[in-house]
A and B are shown apart, each in its own frame.
Chain A
Amino acid sequence: MYHREGEKRLAAGLLGLCMLAGLWLPGEKVHAEYIHTNRDTLPPGPAMEMREESLEEYELLYETEGAVYYFREDRDIIAVLDRESGYLWKTGLDAPVAKKLRAKAMGASTEEEFKELENTPVEDNMNEIYTDMANSLVTVEYRPPETLDTPKKTSSASSGSESTLRKLEENRFCLDIDFKEIDLQMKVYITFGEKKIQYHIPHQEITGEGVKCMTNLYLTPFLGANGGQLLRFNRDSGDYDIVERKDAPPGYAFVPDGSGALIRFQDNNAIFRQYTGDVYGSDISQWEYYNTVMTDAVPLKDPVMPVFGVALGKDQAAFVAYADEGAEYMSIICTPEENTTYYTWTCPQFTYNVRYHQVFNKAGDGYFQMMEEPNVFDVSMTYEFLSGDGSGSTEAANYVGMALTYRKHLTEQGILKERTENESLEAVSADIPIRLDFLMSDAESGVVGLENVVMTTAEDVRSILTDVMDSGIQNINSGLQGWQKKGVTFSGPGTRKYSSAIGSGSDFEKLMEDFSEKGVDISFQQDYVTINKTMMSYFDNAVKHVNSWYSYVDKSNLLPPTAPVTQFGYARPERSVQWLEEQYEHAKGTALSMTIDGIGSILTGDYADSGHVTVDGARALFQEQLASMEEVKKNIKNPGMYLWQYTDRYLQAPVGHSQFIFETDAVPFLQLVLNGTMEVYAPYANFSFYTQTDILKMIDYNLCPAFILTREPSWRLADTASADLYSTEYGLYQDLIQEVYSQVNAALGQVKGYRWVDRQVARDGVIVNVYEKDGIVKRIIINYTDDPVTVEGAQTPPKSALVTDAVGTP
């Protein structure tokens, strides 16, 4: 051993101290005012002033106690008057086409005509196509075969389209749209609820030649659009050249980037690119290229749920929108102000067809073309309108209210189920659980073939867990990675080949049996999607791209040059399910749970020779398999919403967002949705998630701590594909595990079994989370700043969390 045991203990102690002391090293750092970043949540913005808007051109469609629904025929706009807040939502911008008015201005000569022009401003930076899009209920993007490079747009309210609204039932209508420009017809079924609108676009009713060239469909793209700049008519110049900034209400758009991101509406001075969040990640088999290379940039976080929203003012008006059908083909886009238009607009985009690179030789030569068979799916979107601070008929008109509304919807759908104390996985303990994963082994190149690098044996797991339990942590669950011969990178996902150097089958059985008696759930972890050519032949096992080549990703930029493998393919969904079934057959007798990697976060179609499996086909396969695995609990790594129904432990939950510059706040939307329905675990604290701020974030986001451990020092992994696990040795982490757990448990342990009902920002850097159970309200005050703060009479020391009790309504 390179390191003496005593020193290691000392180092571990010092590590804990230094990580927790963090910013308080005496003499090392000057304390400064708390500076927030976009990884934090900012205090709420100002209130908005309500304005009366004219509904002259609108006809009444339907009304309920909560809302009144109107329609403007010529521009295809639905207006929703929220009776409670008084705010009028419009699905479109309701703006005239500048080109037509300019033409009119050219011929204006009378005072009356001039006055009319002066009273009708036009939108700045909006050509006819964009104005039509901004007004319309539906916009379609298409690529004509002759110009594959430049997609075009046509909208339901364009002059080249015809649309008619038909009443089907009292609250149910159908908008028949004929996009004549490309010979495309579709029907949009609209159902009005108490304070919600549902849109349904069945695929079988999309007809015409245009189906072949339609790439994307945007639904109500400018609902909640904010900002805008007008041009007023100048009688002197005879043109629209008087610039006037629109008086836009304060607010933000919520997008499910990572755990959740807010994009506050602001007047940007720079042109930002659009945010596009591919729900569940985009379909690998339909990527533009079949092979990709990962770079040094941290990958963007894919949305794990098809939901977004817009909130205005200070808890005044908001809507939350979610998809019940078509989510696999959905992207959530948010275009910040000054990108083409002066509006920030957020909407769903559904992908029917893509342009891809058809390769015809190994050198990669090829050409671009569209898919011959477009994606087949129905669209079903629901928009729920929220108002007030949550004391009224709806949840609060902010991101917390959106999360609670979405959670309620998923609960009604049976996707989420609130666990009672008795159903809870951790019912045996009053403490919160901790996740301790173990990397058992990986492989490096040897003289002949691969050589196993054993990092932890079954016996090591036993001794480490015993040690952790002896130190007072009882509620533990654990996943074993690389438990097979050839280790975590090269062992076949469906096989069971034990290595005596790691542990025999009976060793593991005994280990799981012994610890399950103590309430510790140890499970085998396996990635059922990521494969490589050393592990198995790609033939009949790997996903094929639509261009008929095997899809793969090159990770050589992220792995050491000595790593035995750098290219990774993706298993066909059918294979993943088959391997999962095989492992389940073994596990159900011995293990309490199974830890499943891959299928939760990678959802891909497959253009196999035997037939095309679509992404929704793959989703259905996964769901069916998981539903049949009733005898074990399922621990799933970062699962998309499609697997939440079957998830007992949510591992590696995202914290924060992708950090687009225009994303102003990070919020725990995902955690608010999932709270109380499953155990949710933080990313491994080993890797850049160990400071005091990170511990506070676990408390703030209601996350249970997680570590990945080995017995051996991690530099032994330097020549393996696990080289990025650069710090895992248990000897160095035992004190930190204690410290992190005791802090998180001290706070979250007190609200175990409580419902998380609100999250407020008391001031910059100070969060107040409100939990409620049977009329008992508890608040956790999280102080991220370097100063003590007093909130509602309770003083919270710097960089710490405090739980306060209160009786009454939150």
Chain B
Amino acid sequence: MKKIKRLLAVISVMLCLTEPILAQASQATSYTYTHDDKMNSVRTQDAYLPQQTITNLGLNGAEDMFIDKQNRMYIADTGNLRIVKYDISRGTFLEEFSHPEFQSPKGIFVTGDGTIYVADSKAKAVFVFDQDWKLVRKLERPRVPAFGDTPFDPAKVAADGRGNIYIVGEGVYGGVIQMSEEGEFQGFFAVNKTELSAIQKLQTVFFTREQLGRLLNRNPVTFANVTLDDRGIVYTVTLGKRNDPIKKHKTNGSNMFAATVYGFEDINDIWVDENLLIYTASKRGYVDVYTAEGELLFEFGSYVSNLDVAGLYNALSTLAVDQKGYIWTIDGIKGYLQSYAPTVYAEKVYEALGYYNSGHYEEALRTWDEVLSMNQMSVAAHDGIGKAYMSRYDFENAMEHFRVAGNHGLYSEAFWEIRNLWLQKYLVYFFAAAVLLYLAIVITERVDRERKLRRLKDRWKKRIMNTRGLGDVLYGFTTARHPVNGYYEIRVGRKGSLPGAGILYLLTFGAFMLYMLGKGFIYQYYDIQELDIGSIVIGFFAFTSLFVICNYLATSINDGEGTLKGVALATAYGAVPLMVSLFAITVLSYCVTANEAFFLDVLLWGGGAWTVVLIFLGLQTIHNYSGKEMVKSLLITALFIFVVIVVILVVTIMCEQVMKFLTTIGKELVRNVSS
């Protein structure tokens, strides 16, 4: 994913902040990104603009913040062992509070009734205060056996005001700790599963328990933060995960997001507003805004280490959203409080989403159109318009927008509706045509008692099959149906030719390319720009040639009777079923919906298997091998191919190194001579 690439770029190279670029207004200090139809990060209109930067609160390593319904901000000023209360509406510092037992207040949460929860990892407790800062309760390590030897170092906390408290503890692999108001351990809510790499899976199979015990990093990743929306639904973010770092939990703890939600690996805070929009912060300075379904709407912010520019971060530690929809963030290293105001563009997007979610589809359609006017590449807008059209039963327009949005699933659903209507309208004509055709055949056979027509057909067929070139190509269909006899004819040189085989190779390649790029939208996931056409062309023909040559070499030292030409022909003629199935799939992909993918899979696997069998039988016939000899020859062929590839790689790398060496010497020479 491009997002990862961007992150790496930031880490690995110097910042380039002086490069002149397209002169756009750029009132923002970072670009805003969203996802395109392929989930790549692409630029969009500025969604938020830096608003206020408050530098005089004296924050020191603040790690969490919360904004209540009265627009008051509570900041866990971890380094200063205090909670800072700030009035956003008036822009004034209200008060600071510190408790003697605070050692590292890292998490803060305030419920609707004003109860304040402070998570302190070093004090190993969650402090519960009333709105006058009177300590109501101190939640400490549960003593029940179910909690076992799990450490209790609370870093973040959330409470639903109905008796459930969710605590993210440092070094807790079991999940989010759920406690009651009274401090009773309710269990681990939501667990991150351990994700094993392929090597780790192999280790699991072969290693002993002791060996496995000695391995590191087999624990599930730990949660980084937890929050609740107004309905009491729990959301978590997880550090160190590229896919699904954000989760919206059902009451049983499982994830409600159906599709993969992409985010940064260093994600460390989450906020959900009253419209159920999800906001996340990542340590490297990115703020992401997602829909309630986890689709990325906007991403902005950036990392910078040596500048003090509003909206760029040394370390973004936390975020919250106020009652006006402004996003507030804190740079943990610098101690700045930074707010962002949504632009007209972002407000329009939220308005459209609101209309759609509340069932006002006409208004949603109108608003999405406005969004689209500001950004014609907006996937969210195209998707939203498509959905609005769907709800109006305007499937044709819905399909057009889903296509631009890259929404294959809903496009398929809209297509199903249109196809259904079409079938209802025209199916009767199909049946009539089929019946008429059948009747025509029966009648023709009755009338043509001397079988003149059939003989005429057979004559033409024979003439075509005997035509040099065309006949050789069409012979592929004979070998597909009668492989043993067919290949025998090739072996003895009566049938098949190199030009014919060449055309078959080209046709197979053509079918493959058509399959890759020409399918109907429901099944077409690549654009031509995403494919390295040069590599595909070279790869296809190079690998085929390699197989043919290696097989010939392997069999020539194993009493194989086949010539190089014979091997090339056997392979080409064997590819015919695959070629036909690829053509057929491409054509059918325009007629079937996503639910009917099974038919295409059967075609693909059937064609592929048939081709494998044909090539096996073809080579066996060509080389006059027994089955066992044939298997052996294929294994040797594979080994040959492997060796050749390794040799080519070694030679290429060596040549590159030599070239690099010579270039460097040359450059040095030029430099020294010229200086």
List A residues at the B interface (Cβ < 8 Å). 2-4, 7, 10-12, 14-15, 18-19, 22-23, 25, 28-30, 32, 35, 37-39, 268-270, 272-273, 278, 281-282, 288-289, 292-300, 302, 360-362, 372, 444-448, 548, 553-558, 560-562, 564, 601-602, 609, 637-638, 651-652, 654-656, 658-662, 682-684, 687-691, 694, 713-715, 718-719, 723-724, 726-729, 732
Contact = CB atoms under 8 A, between A and B. Distances in A.
Given A2-B403, A602-B20, A715 B309 contact: no
Contact of A299 (B21, B335, B404): B21
A688 B23 CA distance: 12
B403 A294 contact: no
B130 to A, nearest CB: 29
B660 A37 contact: no
Given A269-B56, A362-B660, A715-B376, A445 B529 contact: yes
B55 A688 contact: no
B369 A10 contact: yes
Contacts of B392: none
Nearest to A2: B400
Contacts of A444: 529
B14 A289 contact: yes
B77 to A, nearest CB: 14
B164 interface: no
A293 B8 CA distance: 11
A442 to B, nearest CB: 13
Given A28-B351, A296-B33, A11 B19 contact: no
B375 A727 contact: yes
B302 interface: yes
A268 B334 CA distance: 13
A651 B366 CA distance: 34
A12 B370 CA distance: 7
B55 A18 contact: no
B18 interface: yes
B302 A726 contact: no
Contact of A297 (B22, B304, B336, B404): B304
B401 interface: yes
A18 B370 contact: yes
Contacts of B400: 2-3
A299 B20 CA distance: 7
Nearest to B372: A11
| 8 closest residue pairs by CB, A with B | A652-B23, A689-B25, A15-B373, A292-B16, A562-B529, A11-B369, A688-B46, A297-B302
B208 interface: no
B554 to A, nearest CB: 35
A555 B44 CA distance: 16
B302 A688 contact: no
26 contacts: A11-B372, A25-B351, A268-B55, A292-B16, A295-B303, A296-B30, A296-B302, A298-B29, A360-B664, A445-B528, A553-B16, A556-B5, A560-B2, A656-B27, A658-B29, A660-B307, A688-B27, A688-B46, A688-B343, A688-B345, A718-B42, A723-B377, A724-B24, A724-B43, A726-B45, A727-B45
A726 B23 contact: no
Contacts of B345: 688
Contact of B29 (A289, A293, A297, A713): A297
Nearest to A564: B529
A299 B18 contact: yes
A301 to B, nearest CB: 9
Contact of B25 (A10, A300, A688): A688
B315 interface: no
B95 interface: no
A12 B18 contact: no
Contacts of B347: 25, 28-29
Contacts of B663: 362
B402 to A, nearest CB: 10
B486 to A, nearest CB: 34
A10 to B, nearest CB: 7
Nearest to B529: A562
User: Size band of the B side of the interface?
Assistant: 35 or more
Contact of B302 (A278, A295, A651, A683): A295
Interface string B337-377: 00000011101100100000000000000100110111111
A557 B3 CA distance: 9
Nearest to B305: A273
A39 B27 CA distance: 8
A196 B165 CA distance: 70
A270 B46 CA distance: 28
A3 B301 CA distance: 33
Contact of A660 (B2, B10, B308, B671): B308
Contacts, number: 257
A360 B2 contact: no
Given A29-B324, A37-B50, 13 more contacts: A32-B324, A270-B55, A270-B335, A295-B6, A296-B300, A362-B663, A448-B533, A554-B9, A659-B309, A660-B310, A683-B24, A718-B42, A718-B377
B31 interface: yes
B17 A299 contact: yes
B306 interface: yes
B274 interface: no
A105 B336 CA distance: 40
A727 B29 CA distance: 20
Nearest to A301: B26
Nearest to B21: A299
Nearest to B368: A11
A772 to B, nearest CB: 29
Contacts of B21: 294, 299, 555, 558
Given A28-B351, A35-B52, A299-B20, A694 B25 contact: yes
Nearest to B53: A661
A637 B23 CA distance: 8
Nearest to A656: B27
Nearest to A548: B671
Nearest to B659: A362
Contact of B374 (A3, A15, A281): A15
Contacts of B375: 726-727
Contacts of B529: 444-445, 562, 564, 719
A684 B397 CA distance: 31
Given A661-B336, A726-B45, A726-B377, A11 B370 contact: yes
A732 B533 contact: no
B470 interface: no
B126 interface: no
A661 B16 contact: no
Contacts of B33: 296
Find the residue from B21, B58, B671 having the highest chain A CB count within 10 A. B21
Nearest to B530: A562
Nearest to B354: A28
A444 B303 CA distance: 31
A270 B312 contact: no
Contacts of B10: 295-296
Contacts of A558: 21, 31, 43
Contact of B373 (A282, A638, A651, A727): A727
A525 B272 CA distance: 47
A557 B25 contact: no
Given A300-B17, A690-B374, A662 B25 contact: no
Contact of A556 (B9, B29, B302): B9
Contacts of B527: 562, 719
B202 to A, nearest CB: 32
Find the residue from B20, B311, B324, B664 having the highest chain A CB count within 10 A. B20
Contacts of B401: 2
B533 to A, nearest CB: 6
Contacts of A299: 16-21
Given A2-B400, A270-B336, A691-B343, A7 B369 contact: yes
A21 B370 CA distance: 12
Interface string B520-555: 000000011110010000000000000000000000
B13 interface: yes
A18 B344 contact: yes
B365 to A, nearest CB: 9
